[in-house]
Amino acid sequence: MELLKTGASKLGVTLSEHQLDQFETYFHELEDWNKRANLTAIIEYEAVQVKHFVDSLTVCLTAGEVLAASDQVPTRIMDVGAGAGLPGLALKIAFPGIELALVESVAKKTAFMRHVVDTLGLTDVAVYTGRAEELARGNDLRDGFDLVVVRALAKLPLLLEFGLPFCKPGGSLVALKHGGDGTEQDEAAHALSELNGFIERVSTVLVEGLTDDRVVISVKKTEATPNRYPRDVGIPGKRPL
């Protein structure tokens, strides 16, 4: 895991030997399950270290202070559209003090994430199989998280409607994006207004191996999401804000 160790260090994250061993085990479980579950197209050892694990840790570019304080301050984090558990499980390994919720609509992927959680002996991790549009209606999840993370899931206006309802007022949504030219941020103006958020920071990713114009966008939530959002399943995708 030398590429991961080096990349994490450049992001200000120091990983212990135990944590590196956990990432190693995570990789091997991902490699094994991918043969029958098709979890990811990126499965080579070096590529997973950089394009999955280090990429996940770029959340620290805008939320580093929140994550670093999680061993002293209770911190609830949700990963929406978690897929094979990234970035959520990578953040949990690096910052074991966080309380993590993973949301994914595909059952085979949530089964894999539960397996990894059990294999690594992780605590304070909840895995939800379902659509964000439906889960955001639950009182135990809505407006309940200090940080919501989303990775390469959709265009920014859609990510905001899926993710911001889970954020506490005063909390943040962090979106990991690549290949962008800034137009998505302009296109998100209406969504930000409707969902009570504003872009507080955009950080460019300058890590070797992550060179496709990657940015980390942090959106601060100013007050509770109006009850009409998120709209019913399917509508946000067909009619983005």
pLDDT tens sequence across 122-139: 999 999 999 999 999 887
Confidence band, pLDDT 50/70/90 cuts, at residue 234: confident
Confidence band, pLDDT 50/70/90 cuts, at residue 181: low
Count other Cβ atoms within 10 Å, centred on residue 105: 17
Q: What is the CATH number of domain 59-238?
A: 3.40.50.150
CA distances from 49 to 8, 29, 124, 204, 233 (A): 10, 14, 24, 19, 34
Confidence band, pLDDT 50/70/90 cuts, at residue 213: confident
Residue where the block lists tokens 């910052």: 95
pLDDT value at residue 179: 66
Domain range list for the chain: 59-238
pLDDT value at residue 104: 96
Helix (H) or strand (E) holding 168: strand 167-177
Count other Cβ atoms within 10 Å, centred on residue 71: 11
pLDDT (mean) for 186-191: 91
Handedness of CA 34, 35, 37, 42 (dihedral sign): positive
pLDDT tens sequence across 46-99: 999 999 999 999 999 999 999 999 989 999 999 999 999 999 999 999 999 999
Residue-averaged pLDDT of the chain: 94
Contact present, 141 and 99 (Cβ < 8 Å): no
pLDDT value at residue 153: 66
Q: Percent of the chain at pLDDT above 70?
A: 98
Q: What is the DSSP string of 184-210?
A: HHHHTHHHHHHHTEEEEEEEE--BTTB
Length of the chain: 241
pLDDT (mean) for 29-54: 95
CA distances from 169 to 80, 85, 212, 215 (A): 18, 25, 32, 24
Count other Cβ atoms within 10 Å, centred on residue 113: 24
